[in-house]
A and B are shown apart, each in its own frame.
Chain A
Amino acid sequence: MLSIKNLQARVEEKEILKGINLEVKAGEVHAIMGPNGSGKSTLASILAGRETYEVTGGSITFEGKDLLELSPEDRAREGVFLAFQYPVEIPGVSTINFLKTAVNAIREYRGEEVMDAVSFLKMMKEKTKVVDIDETLLKRSLNEGFSGGEKKRNEIFQMAMLEPKLAVLDETDSGLDIDALKIVANGVNKLRSKNNAVIVVTHYQRLLDYIVPDYVHVLYNGRIVKSGTKELALELEAKGYDWIKNENTAV
């Protein structure tokens, strides 16, 4: 589904990604872990099409298409979804308001009929249950005055509404208490199917107790320095990131 080959990227003069390789197949869940500043959010943002980053080498293929050629909106319409590490606040635009536009923009792209207001509301009601989000929140200005947990839940709610093929969750677990964490994990698990894939970017192994990954990768200093199965996350938890740092400064 997703194939990243030797991806290199920089912002201004700073090299951030120095040759990332990653293969994600339908049905898989990949976790990307690593210390702060190693380039996890950069990778996630590049997948979604953020223009601040300049891709200087390598390729990203998604479902056979050159992802780097597509605008952010077309990537979303192809089925890529990014849950933002720092959810955006937009005064005057409610979640319902932009989601209605988004759902129909995606349907239009796929040649499907636009969704009428009644079906949209029905779908919304169902999905609010998945992440246990209060409907009144969805009528307010996006994320304005929301608690950290509400913002993250709102990201997952949007994911549930848009039903992406590939979901990239950037530290969706940070700042969540254990109950909220379970709700978020549950939302993600509901999306999992043999046709979809998830990339979970996280700092802590805690989330991976609830979203069990097929593969775990450690990103450090712009490279994937270790890959393994879910046991790698436990090892990291036990030994700490210094383990990775020491191993790699030695090289």
Chain B
Amino acid sequence: MNLKDLLLQEYKNFAPTASKALPIALREESMKQFSEWGIPTIKQEEWKYTNLKSILETPFKLNDSNGKAEGIQPYTIDAYKLVFVNGVWNTSLSDIKGIEAYATLKSISEAEPAVLAKYFNKFHPFQDGLQASNLAFAQHGIYLHVAKGKELPKPVLVYFLSDTTQGPILAQPRNLVVLEQNSSAKWIESFQSTGNDTSFTNIISEFFLHQDSRLEQYKFQQENDKAYHVGTSQVVHLEKSYSHSAVMTWSGALVRNNLNIHLGAEYCEAHLYGLYLGSSNRHIDNHTLVDHAMPNCYSNELYKGILDDQSTGVFNGKIWVQKDAQKTNAFQSNKNVLLSAKATMNTKPQLEIFADDVKCSHGATVGQLDEEALFFLRARGIPMAQARLLLMQAFSDDVLNKITIPELQEEITATIAQRLRP
């Protein structure tokens, strides 16, 4: 059975058990769209370079609650910890003691209908079958609501583990994070896997930022070489709110990261960072959107990639400056290093500017390691492999330095250094 039929059939079993927090009509509508659209194909403009066909016939199991959490490689940072295994929240492994003084944290399926009506699924610049499927199946996920004026003293760290030891699994988590006025939070998503079989994660995380709130969110992709991942993170900004996003991918078979930022009020600021390392046949696609809908906002984006072997990379960076968004400052840069003649990178900045008083810039480069720098380092006695490593680390440090939690930065930097080592 192909993936589309599998999901249609699974939905029939799922619908009667679905949480009523979300109107059933919305799910039904979404599933109807899915049956029309199906799994995205390369005929769709937004999916031109990323082909999901190799998982269409995989016999996935959905939301398998028998998965084991063993094998998670925990980060050592102090954090509120949450664990999902195969798309299901394993509440017995949560460590969120004390968070109630700052925030509400519960399952998205227990969120109040009024909350969902206000914040859920409010921004959808692009729609496709996978987003429709995620919405129809929305059941497992975190709803975090940080109270007015509160600053979460620790980051919220969510592990999404794919346990493929019993066969291929499919997960569709859906998270909602709301920051009330003047609050702040750090949110970390870590994708990991155990076993050697295929997994497919189709996740959406939404962030809603009230006035003067601050969000930092990180996404680390470190699943196995058979992991397929399509993830969308969306940040909706109200006045003077601030977001800082960093998306890092160094594992998986096919990874598609969508990051959509909606600057929906004045004086907002958004920073977007990405780092991706391709080796063997890995395919890494980063699609970003910064939607400047209102005046006086600032956005800054830096994505960097190193591609080796036959790996492929895609960067598509959209900046929309709508006609009301005067005094916009929007900057974008995408830099790539190809280590092998067989590696490829497709990079496309896409600026659509409808206001006249704006400052926008973008730049994209695809090159090799600097030969002159390599010769210099070797002429100082450093062997070739180490000289290359130094240059690659320097290249990736620009993005790694944007992890503002020092121990986490150290940990991820060490992991990445290990990956870069020949």
Chain A interface residues (CB < 8 Å from chain B): 48-51, 71-73, 75-77, 81-82, 84, 88, 90-93, 97-99, 101-103, 105-106, 109, 141, 158, 162
Decide yes or no whether B390 CB sits under 8 A from chain A.
yes
User: Across the interface, which residues of A come within 8 angstroms of B14, CB to CB?
Assistant: none
Tell whether, in the assembled complex, residue A72 and residue B375 are in contact, meaning their CB atoms are under 8 Å apart: yes
Tell whether, in the assembled complex, residue B370 and residue A82 are in contact, meaning their CB atoms are under 8 Å apart: no
CB of A79 to closest CB in B, whole Å: 10
The CA-CA distance from A109 to B395 in the complex, in Å, is 27
Tell whether, in the assembled complex, residue A162 and residue B376 are in contact, meaning their CB atoms are under 8 Å apart: no
Tell whether, in the assembled complex, residue A101 and residue B379 are in contact, meaning their CB atoms are under 8 Å apart: no
Of the candidates B372, B382, B383, B398, the one whose C-beta lies within 8 Å of that of A92 is: B398
Decide yes or no whether B397 CB sits under 8 A from chain A.
yes
Tell whether, in the assembled complex, residue A102 and residue B381 are in contact, meaning their CB atoms are under 8 Å apart: yes
The CA-CA distance from A53 to B372 in the complex, in Å, is 14
The CA-CA distance from A77 to B378 in the complex, in Å, is 10
Interface bits B376-420 vs A (CB < 8 Å: 1, else 0) = 111111111011001101110110000000000000000000000
User: Can you identify 22 A-B contacts, CB atoms within 8 angstroms?
Assistant: A49-B375, A50-B379, A71-B384, A76-B380, A76-B381, A81-B379, A88-B373, A90-B370, A90-B376, A91-B394, A92-B394, A92-B395, A93-B373, A93-B377, A93-B394, A97-B390, A101-B386, A101-B390, A102-B382, A103-B381, A105-B382, A162-B381
The count of residues in chain B whose C-beta lies closer than 8 Å to any C-beta of chain A is 22
The CA-CA distance from A49 to B373 in the complex, in Å, is 14
Among A51, A75, A92, chain B packs the most CB atoms within 10 A around the CB of A92
CB of A88 to closest CB in B, whole Å: 4
CB of B305 to closest CB in A, whole Å: 15
The CA-CA distance from A162 to B376 in the complex, in Å, is 14
Tell whether, in the assembled complex, residue B376 and residue A105 are in contact, meaning their CB atoms are under 8 Å apart: no
User: Across the interface, which residues of B come within 8 angstroms of A101, CB to CB?
Assistant: 382, 386, 390
**A90 with B381: in contact, given A97-B390, A98-B390, A101-B390 (CB under 8 Å)?**
no
**A76 with B394: in contact, given A101-B386, A105-B386 (CB under 8 Å)?**
no
User: Across the interface, which residues of B come within 8 angstroms of A93, CB to CB?
Assistant: 373, 377, 390-391, 394
Chain B interface residues (CB < 8 Å from chain A): 370, 372-373, 375-384, 386-387, 390-391, 393-395, 397-398
Tell whether, in the assembled complex, residue B375 and residue A50 are in contact, meaning their CB atoms are under 8 Å apart: yes
Among B373, B379, B394, chain A packs the most CB atoms within 10 A around the CB of B379
The CA-CA distance from A71 to B373 in the complex, in Å, is 15
User: Across the interface, which residues of B come within 8 angstroms of A90, CB to CB?
Assistant: 370, 373, 376-377, 391, 394
Interface Cβ pair total, 8 Å cutoff: 72
CB of A163 to closest CB in B, whole Å: 11
Tell whether, in the assembled complex, residue B377 and residue A98 are in contact, meaning their CB atoms are under 8 Å apart: yes
CB of B411 to closest CB in A, whole Å: 20
**A92 with B378: in contact, given A73-B383, A101-B386, A105-B383 (CB under 8 Å)?**
no
**A72 with B378: in contact, given A88-B372, A90-B373, A92-B395 (CB under 8 Å)?**
yes
The CA-CA distance from A98 to B377 in the complex, in Å, is 8
Residue of A nearest to B397 (CB): A92
User: Across the interface, which residues of B come within 8 angstroms of A109, CB to CB?
Assistant: 381
The CA-CA distance from A51 to B384 in the complex, in Å, is 13
Residue of B nearest to A51 (CB): B375
The CA-CA distance from A163 to B80 in the complex, in Å, is 52
CB of B273 to closest CB in A, whole Å: 15
CB of A3 to closest CB in B, whole Å: 21
Of the candidates A77, A88, A92, the one whose C-beta lies within 8 Å of that of B376 is: A88
The CA-CA distance from A73 to B393 in the complex, in Å, is 20
User: Across the interface, which residues of A come within 8 angstroms of B394, CB to CB?
Assistant: 90-93, 141
Tell whether, in the assembled complex, residue B381 and residue A106 are in contact, meaning their CB atoms are under 8 Å apart: yes
CB of A77 to closest CB in B, whole Å: 5
Of the candidates B370, B373, B382, B397, the one whose C-beta lies within 8 Å of that of A73 is: B382
Residue of A nearest to B396 (CB): A92
The CA-CA distance from A210 to B378 in the complex, in Å, is 30
